[in-house]
Amino acid sequence: QVQLVESGGGLVQPGDSLRLSCVASGRSFDQHTMAWFRQTPGKERQFVAAISYSIDTTYYADSVKGRFTISRDNAKNTLYLQLNRLKPEDTAVYYCAACATPYISGSRTPRDFRPWGQGTQVTVSS
């Protein structure tokens, strides 16, 4: 079984930066597209960014494009999300997840991803 553990969240001011990490256990990390989602109370989990298993393709939600950068280090089984120029609207619990089907990319639908990490809280407030 694959397990995902997120870290790096915290309380920051608007305009500040954070780097989130997600460490995956088990083998075959390099076969799966990985993604970050976020969720606030009363709303469904929403897509933030994804990176293909081959690393050469990335996808971003319009709301974070140009501010966030997704990356991965397959040798370390680790996924990252660099969050720059943070806004209060970015406040949410951030989750990492693996695309359930290996060797595919492009999905932005939560149902296509499993397993999920436990989440890490990002709060942006002045």
What pLDDT, in 10s, does the model give residues 17-53? 999 999 999 878 999 999 999 999 999 999 999 999 9
What pLDDT, in 10s, does the model give residues 64-122? 999 999 999 999 999 999 999 999 999 999 999 999 999 988 899 999 999 999 999 99
Q: Which two tokens stand for residue 43?
A: 């709303």
Q: How far is CA 69 from CA 30, 51, 66, 93, in A?
A: 19, 10, 8, 17
Structure confidence at residue 40 (pLDDT): 96
